[in-house]
Structure 1
Amino acid sequence: MKNFNEKLAEYIERTEANLKKYNAMSEDMLPQKSLIDAMNYSLEAGGKRVRPALVYGFCEALGGDLRSADAPAAAIEMIHTFSLIHDDLPAMDDDDFRRGKPSCHKAFGEAVAILAGDALCMLPFEVIADDEKLTPEQKVKIVSCLAKGAGREGMGGGQVIDIENEERSDVDEENLRNMYRCKTGQLIAISCVMGCICAGASDLMLGIAAEYGFKLGLAFQIIDDILDVTSTTEELGKPVGSDEEENKTTFVTLYGVEKAQQIADDVTAQALSCLDNIEHSTFLRELTNMLLKRKK
Protein backbone atom coordinates (compact mmCIF):
# COMPACT_ATOMS: atom_id res chain seq x y z
CA MET A 1 0.00 0.00 0.00
CA LYS A 2 1.33 3.44 -0.94
CA ASN A 3 2.06 5.97 1.78
CA PHE A 4 0.76 9.55 1.69
CA ASN A 5 3.68 11.06 -0.24
CA GLU A 6 3.62 8.27 -2.82
CA LYS A 7 -0.13 8.63 -3.29
CA LEU A 8 0.07 12.42 -3.63
CA ALA A 9 2.91 12.07 -6.15
CA GLU A 10 0.78 9.60 -8.14
CA TYR A 11 -2.16 12.02 -8.23
CA ILE A 12 0.09 14.93 -9.27
CA GLU A 13 1.75 12.84 -11.98
CA ARG A 14 -1.65 11.82 -13.40
CA THR A 15 -2.83 15.42 -13.34
CA GLU A 16 0.19 16.83 -15.10
CA ALA A 17 0.19 14.10 -17.76
CA ASN A 18 -3.47 14.77 -18.50
CA LEU A 19 -3.04 18.54 -18.60
CA LYS A 20 -0.39 18.07 -21.28
CA LYS A 21 -2.64 15.66 -23.17
CA TYR A 22 -5.72 17.87 -23.10
CA ASN A 23 -3.86 21.02 -24.17
CA ALA A 24 -1.43 19.46 -26.63
CA MET A 25 -0.45 21.38 -29.75
CA SER A 26 -1.73 19.97 -33.03
CA GLU A 27 -0.83 20.81 -36.61
CA ASP A 28 -4.09 22.61 -37.29
CA MET A 29 -3.67 24.84 -34.23
CA LEU A 30 -0.30 26.34 -35.17
CA PRO A 31 -1.90 29.77 -35.81
CA GLN A 32 -2.97 29.77 -32.15
CA LYS A 33 0.47 28.74 -30.88
CA SER A 34 0.99 31.82 -28.69
CA LEU A 35 -2.32 31.17 -26.94
CA ILE A 36 -1.60 27.50 -26.31
CA ASP A 37 1.93 28.32 -25.16
CA ALA A 38 0.53 30.82 -22.64
CA MET A 39 -2.00 28.29 -21.39
CA ASN A 40 0.69 25.65 -20.94
CA TYR A 41 3.08 28.16 -19.36
CA SER A 42 0.63 28.68 -16.53
CA LEU A 43 -0.60 25.08 -16.36
CA GLU A 44 2.96 23.80 -16.04
CA ALA A 45 4.14 26.43 -13.54
CA GLY A 46 3.89 23.96 -10.67
CA GLY A 47 1.66 24.46 -7.67
CA LYS A 48 0.37 22.05 -5.07
CA ARG A 49 -2.34 20.47 -7.30
CA VAL A 50 -4.58 20.36 -4.22
CA ARG A 51 -7.86 20.38 -6.12
CA PRO A 52 -7.02 17.46 -8.44
CA ALA A 53 -5.69 15.54 -5.43
CA LEU A 54 -9.05 16.04 -3.73
CA VAL A 55 -10.90 14.76 -6.80
CA TYR A 56 -8.73 11.63 -6.87
CA GLY A 57 -8.68 11.26 -3.09
CA PHE A 58 -12.46 11.26 -2.71
CA CYS A 59 -12.95 9.05 -5.76
CA GLU A 60 -10.54 6.43 -4.47
CA ALA A 61 -11.69 6.65 -0.84
CA LEU A 62 -15.22 5.81 -1.99
CA GLY A 63 -14.15 2.89 -4.17
CA GLY A 64 -14.15 4.62 -7.55
CA ASP A 65 -11.91 4.02 -10.57
CA LEU A 66 -9.19 6.68 -10.81
CA ARG A 67 -9.54 6.70 -14.59
CA SER A 68 -13.02 8.16 -14.24
CA ALA A 69 -11.52 11.03 -12.21
CA ASP A 70 -8.85 11.97 -14.77
CA ALA A 71 -10.96 14.45 -16.74
CA PRO A 72 -12.55 16.16 -13.70
CA ALA A 73 -9.17 16.42 -11.94
CA ALA A 74 -7.59 18.11 -14.96
CA ALA A 75 -10.67 20.28 -15.47
CA ILE A 76 -10.61 21.74 -11.97
CA GLU A 77 -6.90 22.54 -12.27
CA MET A 78 -7.61 24.37 -15.55
CA ILE A 79 -10.33 26.42 -13.87
CA HIS A 80 -8.01 27.20 -10.96
CA THR A 81 -5.19 28.20 -13.33
CA PHE A 82 -7.50 30.46 -15.33
CA SER A 83 -8.39 32.25 -12.08
CA LEU A 84 -4.72 32.77 -11.22
CA ILE A 85 -3.94 34.25 -14.64
CA HIS A 86 -6.80 36.73 -14.30
CA ASP A 87 -6.09 37.47 -10.62
CA ASP A 88 -2.55 38.55 -11.52
CA LEU A 89 -3.69 41.04 -14.18
CA PRO A 90 -3.13 44.80 -13.60
CA ALA A 91 -6.89 45.33 -13.32
CA MET A 92 -7.06 42.83 -10.46
CA ASP A 93 -4.17 42.08 -8.04
CA ASP A 94 -1.44 43.38 -10.39
CA ASP A 95 1.12 40.73 -9.42
CA ASP A 96 4.29 40.34 -11.47
CA PHE A 97 5.17 36.87 -10.18
CA ARG A 98 3.33 33.61 -9.69
CA ARG A 99 4.94 30.43 -8.33
CA GLY A 100 8.38 32.00 -8.63
CA LYS A 101 8.01 32.86 -12.33
CA PRO A 102 6.80 35.98 -14.17
CA SER A 103 3.01 36.10 -14.27
CA CYS A 104 1.36 35.08 -17.54
CA HIS A 105 0.72 38.69 -18.56
CA LYS A 106 4.37 39.54 -17.89
CA ALA A 107 5.57 36.63 -20.02
CA PHE A 108 3.07 36.89 -22.90
CA GLY A 109 1.46 40.31 -22.67
CA GLU A 110 -1.85 41.33 -21.17
CA ALA A 111 -4.07 40.53 -24.16
CA VAL A 112 -2.76 36.99 -24.62
CA ALA A 113 -2.97 36.37 -20.87
CA ILE A 114 -6.64 37.38 -20.82
CA LEU A 115 -7.35 35.06 -23.74
CA ALA A 116 -5.35 32.23 -22.14
CA GLY A 117 -7.48 32.58 -19.02
CA ASP A 118 -10.65 32.61 -21.11
CA ALA A 119 -9.56 29.48 -22.97
CA LEU A 120 -8.73 27.66 -19.72
CA CYS A 121 -12.19 28.55 -18.46
CA MET A 122 -13.80 26.91 -21.50
CA LEU A 123 -11.55 23.89 -22.14
CA PRO A 124 -12.72 22.00 -19.00
CA PHE A 125 -16.25 21.73 -20.36
CA GLU A 126 -14.95 20.26 -23.62
CA VAL A 127 -12.78 17.80 -21.68
CA ILE A 128 -15.72 16.62 -19.56
CA ALA A 129 -18.13 16.40 -22.49
CA ASP A 130 -15.71 14.31 -24.56
CA ASP A 131 -14.59 11.96 -21.78
CA GLU A 132 -15.20 8.26 -22.40
CA LYS A 133 -15.13 7.06 -18.77
CA LEU A 134 -17.96 9.19 -17.37
CA THR A 135 -21.64 8.46 -17.85
CA PRO A 136 -23.93 11.15 -19.30
CA GLU A 137 -25.46 11.65 -15.83
CA GLN A 138 -22.03 12.12 -14.26
CA LYS A 139 -21.06 14.61 -16.96
CA VAL A 140 -24.14 16.74 -16.34
CA LYS A 141 -23.49 16.83 -12.59
CA ILE A 142 -19.81 17.67 -13.06
CA VAL A 143 -20.50 20.41 -15.62
CA SER A 144 -23.00 21.95 -13.20
CA CYS A 145 -20.38 21.83 -10.42
CA LEU A 146 -17.71 23.49 -12.56
CA ALA A 147 -20.02 26.27 -13.76
CA LYS A 148 -21.26 27.01 -10.25
CA GLY A 149 -17.77 26.94 -8.77
CA ALA A 150 -16.36 29.39 -11.29
CA GLY A 151 -19.31 31.76 -11.64
CA ARG A 152 -21.36 34.23 -9.66
CA GLU A 153 -21.92 31.90 -6.68
CA GLY A 154 -18.30 30.86 -6.65
CA MET A 155 -14.93 32.22 -7.63
CA GLY A 156 -16.15 35.12 -9.76
CA GLY A 157 -18.58 36.32 -7.14
CA GLY A 158 -15.95 36.01 -4.44
CA GLN A 159 -13.47 38.05 -6.46
CA VAL A 160 -16.00 40.88 -6.79
CA ILE A 161 -16.51 40.91 -3.01
CA ASP A 162 -12.73 40.92 -2.56
CA ILE A 163 -12.27 43.90 -4.90
CA GLU A 164 -15.10 45.89 -3.32
CA ASN A 165 -13.78 45.17 0.18
CA GLU A 166 -10.61 47.11 -0.65
CA GLU A 167 -12.72 50.29 -0.59
CA ARG A 168 -14.41 49.45 2.71
CA SER A 169 -13.40 49.97 6.31
CA ASP A 170 -16.22 47.93 7.86
CA VAL A 171 -15.28 44.43 6.68
CA ASP A 172 -16.00 41.96 9.49
CA GLU A 173 -15.55 38.22 10.00
CA GLU A 174 -18.95 37.35 8.52
CA ASN A 175 -18.07 39.22 5.33
CA LEU A 176 -14.66 37.51 5.15
CA ARG A 177 -16.10 34.05 5.67
CA ASN A 178 -18.63 34.63 2.89
CA MET A 179 -15.97 35.96 0.52
CA TYR A 180 -13.61 33.06 1.24
CA ARG A 181 -16.47 30.57 0.84
CA CYS A 182 -17.09 31.90 -2.67
CA LYS A 183 -13.59 32.75 -3.83
CA THR A 184 -11.69 29.76 -2.43
CA GLY A 185 -14.14 27.36 -0.83
CA GLN A 186 -16.32 26.69 -3.85
CA LEU A 187 -13.56 25.27 -6.06
CA ILE A 188 -12.22 23.14 -3.21
CA ALA A 189 -15.72 21.92 -2.30
CA ILE A 190 -16.62 20.99 -5.88
CA SER A 191 -13.30 19.14 -6.22
CA CYS A 192 -14.43 16.90 -3.35
CA VAL A 193 -17.95 16.59 -4.76
CA MET A 194 -16.70 15.69 -8.24
CA GLY A 195 -14.57 12.91 -6.76
CA CYS A 196 -17.71 11.54 -5.11
CA ILE A 197 -19.63 11.78 -8.40
CA CYS A 198 -16.88 9.82 -10.16
CA ALA A 199 -17.28 7.07 -7.55
CA GLY A 200 -21.07 6.99 -7.90
CA ALA A 201 -21.58 8.13 -4.29
CA SER A 202 -24.93 9.03 -2.73
CA ASP A 203 -26.33 12.55 -2.48
CA LEU A 204 -25.75 12.35 1.27
CA MET A 205 -22.05 11.72 0.70
CA LEU A 206 -21.91 14.59 -1.81
CA GLY A 207 -23.24 16.88 0.90
CA ILE A 208 -20.68 15.66 3.43
CA ALA A 209 -17.87 16.14 0.91
CA ALA A 210 -19.04 19.69 0.15
CA GLU A 211 -19.14 20.57 3.86
CA TYR A 212 -15.62 19.21 4.29
CA GLY A 213 -14.46 21.19 1.24
CA PHE A 214 -15.87 24.48 2.48
CA LYS A 215 -14.21 23.98 5.88
CA LEU A 216 -10.91 23.10 4.22
CA GLY A 217 -11.22 26.10 1.89
CA LEU A 218 -11.69 28.49 4.80
CA ALA A 219 -8.68 27.09 6.66
CA PHE A 220 -6.65 27.19 3.43
CA GLN A 221 -7.41 30.88 2.90
CA ILE A 222 -6.70 31.84 6.52
CA ILE A 223 -3.28 30.16 6.23
CA ASP A 224 -2.75 32.22 3.05
CA ASP A 225 -3.51 35.35 5.11
CA ILE A 226 -0.93 34.29 7.69
CA LEU A 227 1.74 33.44 5.11
CA ASP A 228 1.29 36.86 3.47
CA VAL A 229 2.80 38.43 6.60
CA THR A 230 5.08 35.65 7.91
CA SER A 231 6.62 34.17 4.75
CA THR A 232 9.08 35.53 2.17
CA THR A 233 8.74 36.08 -1.57
CA GLU A 234 11.32 33.33 -2.13
CA GLU A 235 9.38 30.81 -0.03
CA LEU A 236 5.94 31.75 -1.34
CA GLY A 237 6.83 32.22 -5.01
CA LYS A 238 4.81 35.46 -5.17
CA PRO A 239 5.03 38.87 -3.48
CA VAL A 240 4.33 38.97 0.26
CA GLY A 241 2.73 41.89 2.06
CA SER A 242 0.34 42.49 -0.83
CA ASP A 243 -2.74 42.28 1.41
CA GLU A 244 -1.61 45.32 3.41
CA GLU A 245 -0.56 47.22 0.28
CA GLU A 246 -3.99 46.68 -1.28
CA ASN A 247 -5.82 47.61 1.93
CA LYS A 248 -7.29 44.13 2.27
CA THR A 249 -8.98 43.06 5.46
CA THR A 250 -7.96 39.51 6.38
CA PHE A 251 -8.18 37.28 9.43
CA VAL A 252 -4.71 38.54 10.35
CA THR A 253 -5.66 42.23 10.17
CA LEU A 254 -8.81 41.50 12.17
CA TYR A 255 -7.32 39.27 14.86
CA GLY A 256 -3.55 39.02 14.51
CA VAL A 257 -1.47 35.99 13.53
CA GLU A 258 -1.95 33.96 16.72
CA LYS A 259 -5.75 34.09 16.79
CA ALA A 260 -5.96 33.61 13.01
CA GLN A 261 -3.90 30.43 13.41
CA GLN A 262 -6.23 29.23 16.17
CA ILE A 263 -9.26 29.78 13.94
CA ALA A 264 -7.52 27.85 11.12
CA ASP A 265 -6.78 25.02 13.58
CA ASP A 266 -10.42 24.91 14.71
CA VAL A 267 -11.84 24.95 11.19
CA THR A 268 -9.41 22.20 10.14
CA ALA A 269 -10.62 20.07 13.06
CA GLN A 270 -14.20 20.58 11.83
CA ALA A 271 -13.15 19.50 8.33
CA LEU A 272 -11.50 16.38 9.71
CA SER A 273 -14.67 15.48 11.61
CA CYS A 274 -16.54 15.36 8.29
CA LEU A 275 -14.19 12.57 7.22
CA ASP A 276 -15.43 10.39 10.09
CA ASN A 277 -18.17 9.38 7.64
CA ILE A 278 -15.62 7.92 5.19
CA GLU A 279 -13.97 4.61 6.07
CA HIS A 280 -10.89 4.90 3.86
CA SER A 281 -9.96 8.51 4.57
CA THR A 282 -6.30 8.25 5.60
CA PHE A 283 -4.98 10.12 2.54
CA LEU A 284 -7.57 12.88 2.89
CA ARG A 285 -6.76 13.32 6.58
CA GLU A 286 -3.05 13.60 5.92
CA LEU A 287 -3.64 16.05 3.09
CA THR A 288 -5.84 18.17 5.37
CA ASN A 289 -3.14 18.34 8.04
CA MET A 290 -0.42 19.04 5.48
CA LEU A 291 -2.32 22.05 4.15
CA LEU A 292 -2.76 23.45 7.66
CA LYS A 293 1.00 23.25 8.32
CA ARG A 294 2.23 24.38 4.90
CA LYS A 295 4.79 27.14 4.51
CA LYS A 296 3.88 28.19 0.97
Structure 2
Amino acid sequence: MTISNYHESIAVKKPRFSVKDMPSWSITLISVATLMIVWELCGPWINPLFGSYPSQIIRSFLDMMSDGMLVRAFVQSIQPFVVGYALAALAGIPIGLLLGRYRVFDAAFGIYITAGYATPSIALVPLLMIWFGLGFSVKVVIVFLMAFFPICINTTAGVKAVPKTLIEVGTAFCASQTKIMRQIVLPATLPYIMAGLRLAVGKAVIGMILAEFLTALSGLGGIIINAANSFRTAEMFVPIILVMILAVVLEKLLALLEHVVAPWQREISGDGH
Protein backbone atom coordinates (compact mmCIF):
# COMPACT_ATOMS: atom_id res chain seq x y z
CA MET A 1 0.00 0.00 0.00
CA THR A 2 1.41 3.39 -0.95
CA ILE A 3 1.46 6.35 1.43
CA SER A 4 -1.24 8.13 -0.58
CA ASN A 5 -3.54 5.09 -0.44
CA TYR A 6 -2.93 4.83 3.29
CA HIS A 7 -3.98 8.43 3.88
CA GLU A 8 -7.03 7.95 1.66
CA SER A 9 -8.12 4.92 3.69
CA ILE A 10 -7.79 6.94 6.91
CA ALA A 11 -9.87 9.74 5.39
CA VAL A 12 -12.58 7.28 4.41
CA LYS A 13 -12.72 5.79 7.90
CA LYS A 14 -12.96 9.22 9.57
CA PRO A 15 -16.42 9.53 11.11
CA ARG A 16 -18.61 12.22 9.63
CA PHE A 17 -20.50 14.78 11.66
CA SER A 18 -24.19 13.97 12.13
CA VAL A 19 -27.12 15.82 13.66
CA LYS A 20 -27.52 12.79 15.93
CA ASP A 21 -24.21 13.71 17.56
CA MET A 22 -25.45 17.17 18.58
CA PRO A 23 -26.65 17.64 22.16
CA SER A 24 -30.38 18.12 22.54
CA TRP A 25 -30.06 21.64 23.96
CA SER A 26 -28.19 22.85 20.88
CA ILE A 27 -30.85 21.46 18.54
CA THR A 28 -33.53 23.18 20.62
CA LEU A 29 -31.57 26.45 20.57
CA ILE A 30 -31.19 26.33 16.79
CA SER A 31 -34.90 25.57 16.38
CA VAL A 32 -35.97 28.50 18.59
CA ALA A 33 -33.48 30.89 16.99
CA THR A 34 -34.68 29.93 13.50
CA LEU A 35 -38.30 30.52 14.50
CA MET A 36 -37.46 33.93 16.00
CA ILE A 37 -35.53 35.02 12.90
CA VAL A 38 -38.30 33.96 10.51
CA TRP A 39 -40.92 35.59 12.73
CA GLU A 40 -38.92 38.84 12.89
CA LEU A 41 -38.39 38.92 9.12
CA CYS A 42 -42.12 38.44 8.55
CA GLY A 43 -42.90 41.24 11.01
CA PRO A 44 -43.28 44.11 8.50
CA TRP A 45 -46.05 42.17 6.72
CA ILE A 46 -48.01 41.53 9.92
CA ASN A 47 -50.95 43.81 10.63
CA PRO A 48 -50.30 45.25 14.14
CA LEU A 49 -53.96 44.68 15.04
CA PHE A 50 -53.69 40.94 14.45
CA GLY A 51 -50.15 40.09 15.46
CA SER A 52 -46.71 41.28 16.45
CA TYR A 53 -43.08 40.20 16.16
CA PRO A 54 -40.14 39.65 18.55
CA SER A 55 -38.54 43.12 18.52
CA GLN A 56 -41.87 44.81 19.36
CA ILE A 57 -42.66 42.21 22.01
CA ILE A 58 -39.25 42.71 23.66
CA ARG A 59 -39.82 46.48 23.64
CA SER A 60 -43.20 46.02 25.33
CA PHE A 61 -41.63 43.59 27.80
CA LEU A 62 -39.01 46.17 28.82
CA ASP A 63 -41.67 48.88 29.20
CA MET A 64 -43.83 46.61 31.37
CA MET A 65 -40.85 45.62 33.49
CA SER A 66 -39.76 49.22 33.99
CA ASP A 67 -43.09 50.30 35.51
CA GLY A 68 -43.39 47.09 37.57
CA MET A 69 -46.72 46.05 36.05
CA LEU A 70 -45.46 42.70 34.75
CA VAL A 71 -43.76 41.78 38.04
CA ARG A 72 -46.91 42.53 40.04
CA ALA A 73 -49.04 40.54 37.63
CA PHE A 74 -46.65 37.58 37.73
CA VAL A 75 -46.69 37.51 41.53
CA GLN A 76 -50.49 37.64 41.54
CA SER A 77 -50.65 34.69 39.13
CA ILE A 78 -47.93 32.51 40.60
CA GLN A 79 -49.34 32.45 44.14
CA PRO A 80 -52.57 30.52 43.41
CA PHE A 81 -50.63 28.42 40.91
CA VAL A 82 -48.11 27.24 43.52
CA VAL A 83 -50.75 26.58 46.18
CA GLY A 84 -53.15 24.79 43.83
CA TYR A 85 -50.42 22.68 42.21
CA ALA A 86 -48.91 21.71 45.58
CA LEU A 87 -52.32 20.67 46.94
CA ALA A 88 -52.98 18.66 43.77
CA ALA A 89 -49.70 16.77 44.20
CA LEU A 90 -50.27 16.19 47.92
CA ALA A 91 -53.75 14.80 47.24
CA GLY A 92 -53.27 13.15 43.85
CA ILE A 93 -50.27 10.95 44.68
CA PRO A 94 -51.64 9.19 47.81
CA ILE A 95 -55.13 8.83 46.33
CA GLY A 96 -53.63 7.37 43.15
CA LEU A 97 -51.56 4.92 45.21
CA LEU A 98 -54.67 3.75 47.08
CA LEU A 99 -56.77 3.40 43.92
CA GLY A 100 -54.08 1.44 42.15
CA ARG A 101 -53.17 -0.79 45.09
CA TYR A 102 -56.56 -1.71 46.50
CA ARG A 103 -59.38 -3.00 44.30
CA VAL A 104 -62.08 -1.89 46.76
CA PHE A 105 -60.91 1.74 46.62
CA ASP A 106 -60.73 1.63 42.84
CA ALA A 107 -64.21 0.14 42.54
CA ALA A 108 -65.69 2.65 44.99
CA PHE A 109 -63.98 5.88 43.96
CA GLY A 110 -62.35 5.29 40.57
CA ILE A 111 -65.55 6.22 38.74
CA TYR A 112 -65.48 9.70 40.33
CA ILE A 113 -61.91 10.28 39.21
CA THR A 114 -62.81 9.30 35.64
CA ALA A 115 -65.94 11.48 35.68
CA GLY A 116 -64.07 14.44 37.16
CA TYR A 117 -61.30 14.18 34.58
CA ALA A 118 -63.84 14.10 31.75
CA THR A 119 -65.78 17.11 33.05
CA PRO A 120 -64.68 20.42 31.45
CA SER A 121 -63.39 22.61 34.26
CA ILE A 122 -64.77 25.72 32.56
CA ALA A 123 -68.28 24.32 33.07
CA LEU A 124 -67.72 24.30 36.83
CA VAL A 125 -66.35 27.85 37.09
CA PRO A 126 -69.74 29.58 37.63
CA LEU A 127 -70.53 27.16 40.47
CA LEU A 128 -67.05 27.53 41.94
CA MET A 129 -67.43 31.32 41.92
CA ILE A 130 -70.65 30.99 43.91
CA TRP A 131 -68.92 28.73 46.45
CA PHE A 132 -65.52 30.45 46.73
CA GLY A 133 -66.09 34.00 45.47
CA LEU A 134 -63.90 35.83 42.95
CA GLY A 135 -60.64 36.06 44.86
CA PHE A 136 -57.63 33.92 45.67
CA SER A 137 -59.55 30.82 46.81
CA VAL A 138 -61.43 30.16 43.58
CA LYS A 139 -58.19 30.45 41.57
CA VAL A 140 -56.52 27.88 43.82
CA VAL A 141 -59.46 25.51 43.39
CA ILE A 142 -59.43 25.82 39.58
CA VAL A 143 -55.68 25.17 39.42
CA PHE A 144 -56.11 22.25 41.81
CA LEU A 145 -58.83 20.65 39.70
CA MET A 146 -56.80 21.03 36.51
CA ALA A 147 -53.67 19.48 38.03
CA PHE A 148 -55.15 16.83 40.33
CA PHE A 149 -56.52 14.38 37.78
CA PRO A 150 -53.38 13.88 35.62
CA ILE A 151 -51.36 13.23 38.79
CA CYS A 152 -53.91 10.86 40.29
CA ILE A 153 -54.60 8.91 37.08
CA ASN A 154 -50.91 8.51 36.22
CA THR A 155 -50.12 7.34 39.75
CA THR A 156 -52.93 4.80 39.62
CA ALA A 157 -51.70 3.49 36.27
CA GLY A 158 -48.19 3.21 37.66
CA VAL A 159 -49.29 1.12 40.63
CA LYS A 160 -51.28 -1.20 38.41
CA ALA A 161 -48.21 -1.64 36.17
CA VAL A 162 -46.05 -2.94 39.04
CA PRO A 163 -45.29 -6.65 38.33
CA LYS A 164 -47.28 -8.93 40.60
CA THR A 165 -44.18 -11.04 41.14
CA LEU A 166 -42.60 -8.18 43.10
CA ILE A 167 -45.64 -7.99 45.37
CA GLU A 168 -45.60 -11.76 45.83
CA VAL A 169 -41.94 -11.70 46.82
CA GLY A 170 -42.66 -9.07 49.46
CA THR A 171 -45.62 -11.09 50.75
CA ALA A 172 -43.51 -14.26 50.84
CA PHE A 173 -41.03 -12.51 53.13
CA CYS A 174 -43.92 -11.55 55.43
CA ALA A 175 -43.62 -7.83 54.70
CA SER A 176 -46.49 -5.67 55.90
CA GLN A 177 -48.73 -3.86 53.43
CA THR A 178 -47.21 -0.55 54.51
CA LYS A 179 -43.70 -1.86 53.85
CA ILE A 180 -44.71 -3.29 50.47
CA MET A 181 -46.21 0.06 49.51
CA ARG A 182 -43.20 2.04 50.69
CA GLN A 183 -40.34 -0.19 49.49
CA ILE A 184 -41.78 -1.93 46.42
CA VAL A 185 -44.81 -0.16 44.97
CA LEU A 186 -43.72 3.46 45.45
CA PRO A 187 -40.21 3.12 43.90
CA ALA A 188 -41.65 1.22 40.92
CA THR A 189 -44.33 3.87 40.47
CA LEU A 190 -42.04 6.92 40.68
CA PRO A 191 -41.60 7.32 36.88
CA TYR A 192 -45.38 7.37 36.46
CA ILE A 193 -45.76 9.88 39.30
CA MET A 194 -43.17 12.18 37.78
CA ALA A 195 -44.84 11.89 34.36
CA GLY A 196 -48.13 12.89 36.00
CA LEU A 197 -46.50 15.86 37.71
CA ARG A 198 -45.00 17.01 34.41
CA LEU A 199 -48.34 16.71 32.60
CA ALA A 200 -50.06 18.54 35.43
CA VAL A 201 -47.77 21.58 35.05
CA GLY A 202 -49.28 22.45 31.68
CA LYS A 203 -52.80 21.85 32.98
CA ALA A 204 -52.14 24.00 36.06
CA VAL A 205 -50.82 26.87 33.94
CA ILE A 206 -53.96 26.69 31.80
CA GLY A 207 -56.05 26.70 34.97
CA MET A 208 -54.17 29.73 36.29
CA ILE A 209 -54.92 31.81 33.19
CA LEU A 210 -58.46 30.43 32.88
CA ALA A 211 -59.21 31.46 36.45
CA GLU A 212 -58.01 35.00 35.77
CA PHE A 213 -60.07 35.21 32.59
CA LEU A 214 -63.32 34.10 34.17
CA THR A 215 -63.08 35.52 37.70
CA ALA A 216 -61.62 38.83 38.83
CA LEU A 217 -59.38 40.17 36.06
CA SER A 218 -55.91 40.19 37.57
CA GLY A 219 -52.43 38.84 37.07
CA LEU A 220 -51.12 37.78 33.69
CA GLY A 221 -54.60 36.83 32.47
CA GLY A 222 -55.82 40.32 33.28
CA ILE A 223 -53.01 41.86 31.21
CA ILE A 224 -53.91 39.63 28.25
CA ILE A 225 -57.59 40.61 28.36
CA ASN A 226 -56.96 44.33 28.88
CA ALA A 227 -54.32 44.47 26.14
CA ALA A 228 -56.57 42.56 23.72
CA ASN A 229 -59.50 44.90 24.41
CA SER A 230 -57.25 47.89 23.64
CA PHE A 231 -55.68 46.24 20.55
CA ARG A 232 -52.20 46.44 22.12
CA THR A 233 -51.11 43.22 20.47
CA ALA A 234 -47.40 43.36 21.32
CA GLU A 235 -48.25 43.92 25.00
CA MET A 236 -50.70 41.01 24.87
CA PHE A 237 -47.97 38.66 23.62
CA VAL A 238 -45.69 39.40 26.60
CA PRO A 239 -47.66 37.48 29.26
CA ILE A 240 -48.52 34.74 26.75
CA ILE A 241 -44.85 34.07 26.03
CA LEU A 242 -44.02 34.42 29.73
CA VAL A 243 -46.58 31.72 30.54
CA MET A 244 -45.08 29.46 27.86
CA ILE A 245 -41.59 29.95 29.29
CA LEU A 246 -42.89 29.27 32.81
CA ALA A 247 -44.46 25.97 31.74
CA VAL A 248 -41.32 24.86 29.86
CA VAL A 249 -38.99 25.75 32.74
CA LEU A 250 -41.13 23.96 35.33
CA GLU A 251 -41.42 20.89 33.10
CA LYS A 252 -37.63 20.78 32.66
CA LEU A 253 -37.08 21.16 36.41
CA LEU A 254 -39.41 18.23 37.06
CA ALA A 255 -37.53 16.22 34.43
CA LEU A 256 -34.29 16.93 36.32
CA LEU A 257 -35.99 15.94 39.56
CA GLU A 258 -37.05 12.67 37.94
CA HIS A 259 -33.42 11.89 37.10
CA VAL A 260 -32.61 12.41 40.81
CA VAL A 261 -35.42 10.36 42.37
CA ALA A 262 -35.61 7.71 39.62
CA PRO A 263 -32.17 7.61 37.91
CA TRP A 264 -32.77 4.10 36.58
CA GLN A 265 -35.62 5.33 34.38
CA ARG A 266 -33.24 7.30 32.16
CA GLU A 267 -31.21 4.17 31.45
CA ILE A 268 -34.31 2.08 30.77
CA SER A 269 -35.92 4.59 28.40
CA GLY A 270 -32.68 5.62 26.72
CA ASP A 271 -33.50 9.30 27.30
CA GLY A 272 -31.17 11.65 25.50
CA HIS A 273 -30.26 9.20 22.69
TM-score interval, normalised by the smaller of the two chains: 0.3 to 0.5
- Normalising by structure 1, what TM-score? 0.32
Structure ranking higher on relative contact order (CA contacts 8 Å, 6+ apart): 2
- From the two aligned structures, give the one with the greater helix fraction: 2
- Normalising by structure 2, what TM-score? 0.34
Larger Rg: 2
